[in-house]
Amino acid sequence: MAPSIFSRLTMIMSMALFVLVIVESANAQLSTNFYSTSCPKLSSTVKSSMQSAISKETRIGASILRLFFHDCFVNGCDGSILLDDTSNFTGEKNAFPNRNSARGFEVIDNIKTAVENVCPDVVSCADILAIAAADSVAILGGPTWNVKLGRRDAKTASQSAANTGIPAPTSSLNQLKSRFNALGLSTKDLVALSGAHTIGQARCTNFRARIYNETNIDTSFASTRQTNCPKTSGSGDNNLAPLDLQTPTSFDNNYFKNLVQKKGLLHSDQQLFNGGSTNSIVSGYNTNPSSFSSDFAAAMIKMGDISPLTGSNGEIRKNCRRKN
């Protein structure tokens, strides 16, 4: 007996619903409550680990925030920066922007271990890094935001993409705008996210040319920085200086005050206040710290949305340093 029109219609609708479920799964969206049932202790576990790490070394908060930036700017926020090189795998840790400077991997390892103890095989390393970055900002006095979650971990990494995708400290304003815009981040997002340089340190090799050769720099500031950064390349390359002269361990708007005074440490920093299209945004953040805080939080959420692996893509790594 042939199926009735009603039966056939029901079958078609069921198939359509099945296909829709598959499509939805493949294109799953990030959400702030992704682990609310599967790992309810996630937030408190990450935060306590991050507080412990920062109490031991304040600078580590900036390092974790930088890891998240460098992860998201290379093929999306997928935890690829955390993968170690092996005999048959080349990761991103030795790419030029990360070599001798990316740090905090042990902190992420410790957080992963703590999270695995409360909910094994549930939370991705990519999400742990996103939460740790947000906690770092909050613990150091910056804004808070609800972190969107549900990322999965990459099974691949790209050293070449890391070499080309992460903005260099020598970047011009147009280069910065172009790279951020290519990732769906606006010029305002660029300036707000650059405000992350209100914490952390930079190596002499990354600001030597600016303090010795550039003219749009406060002369006394340049002299101060020169005392710990010899002019000769290869000498003191890894000597450190604070990105924010005034409060290098507090997340505030002093970074923008520095730019207005021509005291940006990196060439790429000072480009944001050098007579160009971003001057007005910097001026606004200089005088209105709450505006910077809210824009930074919004920009961090946007950055966290860059090409995440979701649904059945990627994996949940057991060890953040290697593929399962």
* Residues taking part in catalysis: 70
Residue 76 known to bind ligand: yes
CA gap 251, 170 in Å, rounded: 24
Question: Is 78 marked as binding a ligand?
Answer: yes
237: annotated binding-site residue?
A: no
CB atoms within 10 A of CB 101: 16
> What angle separates helix 105-118 from helix 125-139, to the nearest 10 degrees?
110
User: Is 284 known to sit in a ligand binding site?
Assistant: no
Is there a binding annotation on residue 184?
no
Buried b (16+ CB within 10 A) or exposed e, 249-262: bebbbbbbbbbeeb
Say if residue 135 carries a ligand binding annotation: no
CB atoms within 10 A of CB 240: 15
Q: Is 167 annotated as contributing to ligand binding?
A: yes
Q: Is 97 annotated as a binding residue?
A: no
* 139, two tokens: 């613990």
**Among 31, 26, 63, 52, residue whose Cα is nearest residue 113:** 52
Which SS3 state, helix, strand or coil, does residue 88 take?
coil
Is 247 one of the annotated binding-site residues? Answer: yes
Residue 197 assigned as binding residue: yes
202: three-class secondary structure by DSSP: strand
Share in percent of the chain as helix, strand, coil (round to 5): 50, 5, 45
Say which DSSP state 156 is in.
-
Residue 203: Cβ-neighbour burial (10 angstroms; 0-12, 13-18, 19+)? middle
Which residues are annotated binding-site positions for Ca(2+)? 71, 74, 76, 78, 80, 92, 198, 244, 247, 252
Which residues are annotated binding-site positions for substrate? 167
Which residues are annotated binding-site positions for heme b? 197
Which residues are annotated binding-site positions? 71, 74, 76, 78, 80, 92, 167, 197-198, 244, 247, 252
